[in-house]
Structures are given as structure tokens and as C-alpha cells.
Amino acid sequence: MAKRKRRPQPTVLPEHGPVDEAGREVLLSLRNVDITFGKGDRAVRAVKNVSFDIYRGETFSLVGESGSGKTTIGRAVIGVTPCAAGQILYKGVPISGKTGKALDREIIRRIQMVFQDPAASLNERATVDYIVSEGLYNFHLYDNEADRHRKVERIMEEVGLLPEHLTRYPHEFSGGQRQRIGLARAMVMEPELVIADEPISALDVSIRAQVLNLLKKFQQERGVTYLFIAHDLSIVRFISDRIGVIYKGDLVEIAEAEELFDYPLHPYTRSLISAIPIPDPVLEKNKVLVTYDPSVHEYRQDKPELVDIGHNHYVFGSPAEIEAYRAVREQGVPLHCVTVRQRDAAGEEAAEQIAPAQVQTEPPVQDVGSRWYAVGSFLLPPVGLLAAGLFKRFRYRRSYQACKKGALAGLAAIGTVVGLFCLLLVLAVL
């Protein structure tokens, strides 16, 4: 704070973000963001050329399986993970890459995060009072001690906890209560954007509902914007305004929630929807599981892109695919992606499923990889090498490895002995 007083700066962030042609205020916008981990040949592109906007007051959800990069995007927005390329704009101001200290502080205040595991994300050794007011301390968001106390008590009440809970420690609370503390900690800062990274995956069904309702309540009362990260489309459908589906770092589809469920154009979205457990035994037991096979796409010649096909609906695909998607969408008939098979067909498919498993079950039984192979090869390295070659030829993988290991060790040992002998010989001659 002292530094800022010496060098007074104008407020770094504008009050409002840019407004797009539809009249919505863009709060956060990602422009061709690439995030890589590792360097050189071992670099992994966790997020590939992702662009999307989040409008003020909405809930935008990112859905995908684990490892798809949805959490990485969330972390990039709060600046924990650096972007390799592209830009993240908050209210039109770039917040990725090199930013000033003042802007950094501002961002930390305006964007808050709610984590998945409430047991791991709260400081075990601090009282709830301190956990909730830590942000207030850091930013001096209170006039005096009484004011801070008033703020903390109010937020505790809003998340459904009691003032007497303030002197307790996180381990004294149940999972649902801990997640409420995590929510209180984020909300007391009066953020504009909250990144909720799977906030309810670790919770029970009944507590889930309570936390989801709380999130909705805060949105209605304070106009908070959410970036909601999840893998379960049924919850996402309930809470979000718009949904982005992400697969292995590619954003494959963005649409409004009902639009996405009515017209899931990308095959991966369809497989996600078909995986939602339906709480109806007749439907769920006979549901056909759609698995996504990325090899259906022909991307060698035409590079795929995320294209707007109208109705605020973006799909990732090559030009030919986009044409097909657009045609399907224009027909205006909701797509069926959950198919329920008839009774007699069920048996056939089950038989089909078991067949390929049996083909695989002919492993070389004698491939024991015994350590005696290694010992033998160590004693007689040339024979060991020969044996290793034979084992490799007949794909006795473990025996091959044992022989190879033993033979190499044997050769090394012989080499060392010969080397030492030569050295001594040279020394003796000299």
C-alpha cells in the first residue's frame, strides 16, 4: 500500500468492458490462447488456440473429461499458469503475460476462485475468521476492525453459517460446510468474476443442491459472473447460460445451454450427453453408450476451426464438416443423442462386446521373466544376448528384458575387468 501512495496511479481497469454487437458487455475474453507445459520435444500443448468470451452476469461452463485442459484455462485466467501464445483480456485490458503490479493486484481482487476439494483448499491452521478475511486484510477493504467483523459476519450468514463458527478451524466442519467457507472467502472480496473449479464434485447429492443454489443466489443478488468448470453435463445444464465443450485442449463446441442439448452437433458433445446417468431405470439400463472416436474426422487437408454457425452456436470442424453441421442445424429438428435400444437388440450387442476381449487372451504363458535368465545371461553374456534376440523375436517381453539386462550387465562387468587388467598391464610395463 505504501508504494501505491507514493506513486498514485489511475484505476487500471475500466468500470465496464467493451460491448459487442449484440449489446452484451464482454467481461473476459480469451483470444487464441495456447498453453504448453514442458519444453522442446517434450512440450505438451494442454490448451490449443482457444478463444471465447464471457459476458457480464452470465454463467459460462467449461465441460470436458479430465486432462482436457479445462482447469488449465481457469488457472491461466487468474494468472497462475502463463499463456504460451494469445491473449486474455479482462474488460478489454490484457491481463496475460507481463502486467504491472497495480493491474495484478486489481485482477487478484476482481477474480476469485472456488476450488474443488474444500478439505485441501482451506488453511488447516487458521480459524475461519482469518480464512474469510485474509483477502480483506491484504487489500485493506475495511475501515476499521468493527467494519471487517461486520463484513465477515454478513457473508457467513449469507452462505448459511453461524457467527459462532468463526472461531473454529476447517477440520471441525463437514464437506458441505467447508465448501461454504470456500465460497464465503471468495465472495467477501465482492468479485466480478468467480472461477468455480468443480466446486461440487466432492460433495454429496443433497449438499450439492445447497451449494448450487447458493451460487445462483449470489449471481441474482450481486450480478457475479461465473466461469464454471465441471465434467458432469447434467449439473452444467442446470446452472449455466452458455456451455463450452473442450476435448484434449480444443474447444469443440460453444452454445447456449438448451441449444447445446437440443443440437449437440459435435460427436464429442453427443458422447458426453449420452454418458449422463439418467435417473430412470428403464431408460438407463437400455441406453446405448456413444463413445467418441476422434478418427472420424478428416483433418489432414483442411485444418479445423471453431466457426459460428448461427444461433450463437460455435462448432469446431473442417469446412466440409461445418457445412454439414450447419445443414443439420438449419433443419431445426432437435437431435437424438441418447438412444434406448429394444430388448432383443440388447443381447446381440452384449455378444459383440465380449468377442474382442477373447481374441486378446493368448499371451505367451511361459514368459515369466525369471531372474535366473538374468543371472545366466550375466555369466554368459553372448549366450544371453542370443537368448534375448530369440525372446524378442517370439515376443516374450519379460524374458527378453531379463536376458538383455543380464547380458548387458555381464558385458559391462567383463569390460571393466578387461579394462582394469589392461590398465594394470600398462602400469606394470611402464
Partner 1 sequence: MEQKKVILSVRDLHVKFCVRGRILSAIRGISLDLYRGESIAIVGESGSGKSVFTKTFAGMLETNGYIDQGQLLFYGVEGTPLDLTALRRARDWNQIRGGKIATVFQDPMTSLDPIIPIGRQITSVILKHQACTKAEARARALELMAKVGIPEPQARFDDYPFQYSGGMRQRIVIAIALSCQPQILICDEPTTALDVTIQAQILKLIKDLQKEFGYTIVFITHDLGVVANIADRVAVLYAGQIVELGTVEEIFYDPRHPYTWALLSSLPQLAQRNTKLYAITGTPPSLYNRIVGDAFAPRNPQCMQIDTLKEPPMFRVTDTHYAKTWLLDPRAPKTEKPELIRNIHEKLLKAFHI
Q: Footprint of partner 1 on this chain (CB under 8 A)?
A: 65-67, 174-175, 204-206, 208-210, 212-213, 216, 231-235, 237-238, 257-258, 261-262, 271-285, 289, 291-292, 334-340, 350, 353-354, 357, 360-361, 363-368, 395, 397-398, 401
Q: How far is the CB of 93 from partner 1 (least distance, A)?
A: 32
Q: How far is the CB of 66 from partner 1 (least distance, A)?
A: 5
User: Which H or E run includes 379?
Assistant: helix 371-379
Q: Which is nearer to partner 1, 175 or 304 (CB)?
A: 175
Q: State the minimum distance, in angstroms, from the CB of residue 59 to partner 1.
A: 11
Based on CB atoms, which residue is closest to partner 1, 144 or 295?
295
The DSSP string of 141-204 is: --SSHHHHHHHHHHHHHHTT--GGGGGS-GGGS-HHHHHHHHHHHHHTT--SEEEEESTTTTS-
**Least distance in angstroms from the C-beta of 134 to partner 1:** 27
Q: What is the total residue count of the chain?
A: 430
DSSP-derived letter for residue 334 is: P
The residue among 120, 111, 90, 226 whose CA lies nearest residue 182 is 120
Q: 73, 23, 21: which is closest to 47 by C-alpha? A: 73
Closest among 250, 278, 288 to 266, alpha carbons compared: 250
**Least distance from C-beta 197 to partner 1, angstroms?**
15
Q: Which residues pair with 287 in a beta bridge?
A: 340
Q: Whole-angstrom Cα distance, residue 101 to residue 191?
A: 19
* Smaller CB separation from partner 1, 126 or 283: 283
Q: Which residues pair with 227 in a beta bridge?
A: 60, 195
Radius of gyration of the chain measured on its C-alpha atoms: 30
> What number of other Cβ atoms are within 10 A of residue 173's Cβ?
19
Q: How many CB atoms lie within 10 A of CB 79?
A: 17
Nearer to partner 1, 354 or 427 (CB): 354
The sign one gets for the Cα dihedral 16, 19, 25, 26 is negative
Q: How far is the CB of 363 from partner 1 (least distance, A)?
A: 4
- Please answer whether residues 398 and 369 qualify as being in contact, where contact means their C-beta atoms are separated by less than 8 angstroms: yes
**Cβ–Cβ under 8 Å, residues 346 and 286:** yes
Torsional sign, CA 125, 126, 131, 135: negative
For residue 373, the minimal CB distance to partner 1 (Å) is 13
Q: How far is the CB of 280 from partner 1 (least distance, A)?
A: 5
Strand duo 111-114 + 314-317: pairing: unpaired
Alpha carbon 16 to its chain centroid, in Å, reads 29
CA-CA distance, 218 to 159, in Å (whole number)? 9
DSSP state for residue 266 in the 8-state scheme: S
Residue among 107 and 260 whose Cβ is closer to partner 1:
260
Closer Cβ to partner 1, 40 or 281, answer by number: 281
- Closer CB to partner 1, residue 150 or residue 336? 336
Give me the least distance between CB of 74 and partner 1, in Å please: 17
Nearest distance, CB of residue 220 and partner 1, angstroms? 10
Q: In terms of CB distance, is 10 or 281 closer to partner 1? A: 281
Of residues 11 and 295, the one with the C-beta less far from partner 1: 295
Q: Kindly state the cell numbers that stand for 89.
A: 483480456
Nearer Cβ to partner 1 (375/411): 375
